[in-house]
A and B are shown apart, each in its own frame.
Chain A
Amino acid sequence: MAAEGGAGPPGGAEEEEDDLGYRLFPDRKKKPQSFLVRSLFTFHNRCQLMLRMSLETNPYAQLLLAAMKQSGCTVFNDRHFSCENCDGCVSGGFDSATSQIVLCQNNIRQQSHMNRVVAHELIHAFDHCRAHVDWFKNVKHLACSEIRAANLSGDCTLMNEIARFKFGLKAHHQTCVRDRAIRSILAVRKVSRETAEKAVDEVFDACFNDLEPFGRIPHNKTDAKRAYKDFLNRDRYNANL
């Protein structure tokens, strides 16, 4: 899995699953709870409401949904999203084996956080849809998607970094993207820090500058709305280029 997150394949021995991040998402293998238990004793309903708000109003999500539909991967709320309890501090993940985005209902408490997690995971889903990403065996492939997700989802905006007590200005966005990509890889793969850093460094330039489908780094909702508008007008753009 990709944790706000990584992607992982299902099945295999427990040891293999632990290498691929499934230990963070224990509900993936369990049967779904009954409606009553889910409604009364979990944050499932809150998660579903926030998810819906995000998909309907957040320009990051709207652009990614439109781009995925254009690529042939229409996203359906009840098929491609799952609100579950997760371990640790992880906020979400993309399970490429089931083509599902997992949202950690016990760790996402605010709408702004949900917006960011949804955008982050939709970028992983978009990459899965448009390219042959070897999530499980190729750390560089995973690193590239994590770089793009940290870069384009709003994870590394100045305000988010300040809220994490990480202060910096000059090219700090790149530092944040690099650090968060390494952190995500280490969360879902049993590789050394050196391996993760090497993979990120090798693909950083190519993947940091791959801005699809946004066409720009969206630093705020205004940028995202502009990018969405440009995406909707792409036919004219390509025809007249």
Chain B
Amino acid sequence: MAGGGGWRWRNRPPRSCEDYWWEWRHCRGLRHAFHHYYAHGARAAAAQEALCKSERARVEEKQKYAPVWTFRKSPPPDWYLPLDQDSPK
């Protein structure tokens, strides 16, 4: 499929239009500005600009820190094991 302007029927945006509308309204509000200042110590103008970046850029920005842990390929083997009250501990 060729690229180009506009959304084609098989190129949906990552989130629904209602989500982007909510996000835009939320980012412009005073409450969000306050929470951003409380959490990051900086004004929220940068966050509003981030909304305009592509979603891919936002995902890449989140991944720039090296993880502390090694991630599992499968859940812990003892997650579902029954509790054994009598086992020596």
Contacts and interface: CB of A to CB of B under 8 A. Distances in A.
A67 interface: no
A169 B59 contact: no
A9 to B, nearest CB: 9
A169 B40 CA distance: 10
B88 interface: yes
Contact of A129 (B40, B66, B72, B82): B72
A11 B16 CA distance: 51
B69 interface: yes
Given A158-B38, A241-B14, A206 B65 contact: yes
A236 B13 CA distance: 9
B19 A11 contact: no
A230 B69 contact: no
Interface string B65-89: 1111111101110111111010011
Contacts of B53: none
A174 B39 contact: yes
B39 A219 contact: yes
B19 A230 contact: yes
Contact of B66 (A71, A206, A238): A206
B69 A141 contact: yes
Contacts of B15: 230, 233, 236-237
Interface in A189-239: 203, 205-207, 209-211, 217, 219, 226, 229-230, 233, 236-238
Interface stretch (A55-63, A86-94, A130-138): A130-138
A133 B75 CA distance: 12
B28 interface: no
A144 B71 CA distance: 14
Nearest to A75: B79
A132 B39 contact: no
A105 B71 CA distance: 33
A237 B14 contact: yes
A240 B41 CA distance: 33
B24 interface: no
Given A140-B68, A169-B37, A230-B19, A240 B89 contact: no
Interface of A: 10-11, 29, 31-32, 71-73, 79, 98-100, 127-133, 140-141, 144, 158, 169-174, 203, 205-207, 209-211, 217, 219, 226, 229-230, 233, 236-238, 240-241
11 contacts: A11-B89, A100-B83, A158-B38, A210-B65, A219-B35, A233-B15, A233-B19, A237-B55, A240-B13, A240-B14, A241-B56
